[in-house]
Amino acid sequence: MSWAAARALAARSAGRLEPARVPLQDALGRRLTAPLTALVPVPGVDVAAMDGYAVAGRGPWLVVGGVLAGGAPYADVLRAGEAVEIATGAPAPAGAEAVLPYEHTVAAPPPGSGEAGRGPVTWVDRPGGGAAETGRHIRRRGEDIAEDAVVLGAGAMVTPAVLGLAASLGHDTLLVRPRMRVTVLVTGDEVVHEGLPAPGRVRDAIGPFLPGLVEWAGGRVAGETRLPDGPGPLRAALAEGAPGTGAGDVAVVCGASSKGPADHLRGVLAGLGAELLVDGVAVRPGHPQMLARLPGGGLVVGLPGNPFAAFAAALTLLVPLVREAAGTAPGRETSALAGPVRVHPRDTRLVPVRRSGRGAVPVGHDRPGSLWGAALADALAVVPPGWSGEQVELIELPLGG
Ligand SMILES: Nc1nc2c(c(=O)[nH]1)N[C@H]1C(S)=C(S)[C@@H](COP(=O)(O)OP(=O)(O)OC[C@H]3O[C@@H](n4cnc5c(N)ncnc54)[C@H](O)[C@@H]3O)O[C@H]1N2
Ligand code: MOO
């Protein structure tokens, strides 16, 4: 199967999952499946926009009380000639016509006395006297966002700002596209998971990159299981009812996809009655990769054992289907190539590159067994079979948090 056909088929295989209502923080990076509406107006009541005095009528004003944000509101109606000392965000008393910031007020003598009052300020005025501008520094109820206003449409991406907005509108949860749940199965008797590998052993380089890749695409790694070589453990891990094998789940099997004596994935999938959707892709690196659907509805992605081959295969099959479910597919990006690449007559090549003003620069170090090139790159250039010198498509790579 061609690389482009495999990628498109993977995206189509994701299927539609039911929208999920999740706590705000879990919604980050996901798409809304329903419009976001204001459950409360913003501000919720008329409030002061400045620290100072809420006033009615003309000055000087007799200070008849004080109100803080979160404190009890002023119980009375403010009458002409009265002021209430007020904090930003505190409810403006009924009858208040404006708020005068402290810096725009002066202590005033009681009317008729001719001298400023001693002790605590009980009278205030504007420096030039007169009335305050009606409505000044009072934020009216619903002035920023009216109650029931639709502030974002279905399909909007939940960003950090959206979380803050949703909270201010009274939401505790959001209805979003579901995350696919990805279970990682790392196979290989030679694979070790910590420390220096002894001769003949190799450190697992695939398990460590999958969670970040899956999260970035909009999915979630639910767990990692380490399996010895052999069909039995793999069969048990993919059997009907095993964790991570139901509809909406993806099991990623690392390192059992080729044709060697320890490469059991194909046989296990056949034994389980799985539908093989992709069996090998015309791409370098990463041609021994697989996509299958288990009878219970879960998907299985088989990645080759060579780490860069696994990385390229994950971007071919796993990322597109996770993105499709999450609704996070990016736009298509193309670029000139600013450096030579090897072109294959029949296979697509995925070449690690760094974007630059001159085009995408191949970074080298791209052997299937090493992630060095992928670690230096910010994209993979897609070089089609027989390509000759035009623009290439770029697949974006995650750059970390
Ligand atoms: N007769 C054939 N042999 C091979 C073919 C083929 O088409 N015909 N394809 C080659 C290619 S290309 C690749 S890629 C590999 C894929 O092999 P598997 O997916 O079966 O993986 P393994 O054989 O288990 O391992 C290959 C290689 O990768 C190392 N490995 C395995 N898992 C990990 C891991 N988690 N982290 C780091 N390295 C890992 C393993 O030790 C091997 O060195 O098959 C070729 N052979
Ligand atoms: O898929 Mo294998 O691509 O070359 O190492």
Q: 313 C-alpha vs ligand 2 centroid, how far in Å?
A: 9
State whether ipTM is beyond 0.90.
yes
Query: Given this model, what pLDDT does residue 152 score?
Result: 98
User: Which pairs with CB-CB distance under 8 Å and at least 24 residues apart come from 104-108?
Assistant: 104/52, 105/52, 105/53, 108/59, 108/60, 108/61
Do residues 67 and 84 lie in contact, with contact meaning Cβ atoms separated by under 8 Å? yes
Query: Given this model, what pLDDT does residue 119 score?
Result: 54
Distance CA 301, CA 305 (A): 13
pLDDT tens string 237-285: 999 888 888 888 999 999 888 777 778 899 999 999 999 999 999 999 9
Task: Write b or e for each residue in 95-122: b if 16 or more Cβ atoms lie within 10 A of its Cβ, otherwise e.
Answer: bbbbbbeeebbeebeeeeeeeeeeeeee
Do residues 319 and 310 lie in contact, with contact meaning Cβ atoms separated by under 8 Å? no
Whether the CB of 288 sits within 6 Å of ligand 2: yes
The fold for domain 43-143 equals Molybdopterin biosynthesis moeA protein; domain 3 (2.170.190)
Half-sphere exposure of 296 (CA within 13 A, CB side): 18
Distance CA 78, CA 91 (A): 13
pLDDT tens string 216-231: 999 999 999 999 888 9
Query: Given this model, what pLDDT does residue 114 score?
Result: 56
Instruction: Give the mutation target among 190, 258, 371 for probing the ligand 1 site: most ligand atoms within 8 A of CB.
Output: 258
Beta-strand pair 98-101/52-55: antiparallel
Whether the CB of 368 sits within 6 Å of ligand 2: yes
Do residues 105 and 125 lie in contact, with contact meaning Cβ atoms separated by under 8 Å? yes
Whether the CB of 368 sits within 6 Å of ligand 1: yes
The fold for domain 25-40+145-176 equals Molybdopterin biosynthesis moea protein, domain 2 (3.90.105)
Query: Given this model, what pLDDT does residue 400 score?
Result: 67
Query: Can the peptide bond before residue 43 be classed as cis, meaning omega within 30 degrees of 0?
Result: yes
Provide Rg for the chain, Cα atoms: 32
DSSP for 220-285 reads: EEEEEEEE-SSHHHHHHHHSTTSTT-BTTEEEEEES--SSSTT--HHHHHHHTT-EEEEE--BEES
Distance CA 223, CA 249 (A): 12
306 CA closest ligand 2 atom index: 5
100: nearest Cα among 76, 118, 123: 123
Quick one: 3-18+178-326 is in which CATH superfamily?
MoaB/Mog-like domain (3.40.980.10)
Query: Given this model, what pLDDT does residue 48 score?
Result: 96
165: left (phi over 0), alpha (psi -120 to 50) or beta: alpha
Looking at ligand 2, which residue's alpha carbon is closest to its atom 1? Answer: 286
- Cα 241 to its chain centre, rounded Å, is 30
Distance CA 204, CA 190 (A): 9
Domain ranges, ordered by start, for the chain: 3-18+178-326, 25-40+145-176, 43-143, 333-396
Alpha helices by DSSP H, 265-359: 265-271, 307-313, 319-326
* Residue 159 bridge partners (DSSP): none
Mean pLDDT over residues 4-11, rounded?
96
Query: Given this model, what pLDDT does residue 268 score?
Result: 95
Looking at ligand 1, which residue's alpha carbon is closest to its atom 36? Answer: 204
Mean pLDDT (the chain) is 93
Whether the CB of 229 sits within 6 Å of ligand 1: no
Q: 196 C-alpha vs ligand 2 centroid, how far in Å?
A: 24
Do residues 225 and 205 lie in contact, with contact meaning Cβ atoms separated by under 8 Å? no
305 CA closest ligand 2 atom index: 5
DSSP for 117-182 reads: PSSS--EEE-TT-SBPPTTTTEEPTTSSB-TT-EEE-TT-B--HHHHHHHHHTT-SEEEEPPPPEE
**Which residues lie closer than 8 Å to 22 by C-beta, 6 or more apart?**
30, 173, 174, 176
pLDDT tens string 30-77: 999 999 999 999 999 999 999 999 999 999 999 999 998 888 889 999
Distance CA 115, CA 128 (A): 16
Query: Given this model, what pLDDT does residue 141 score?
Result: 96
The fold for domain 333-396 equals Beta-clip (2.40.340)
308 CA closest ligand 2 atom index: 5
Whether the CB of 302 sits within 6 Å of ligand 1: no
Whether the CB of 287 sits within 6 Å of ligand 2: yes
Whether the CB of 228 sits within 6 Å of ligand 1: no
287 CA closest ligand 2 atom index: 1
Distance CA 399, CA 53 (A): 51
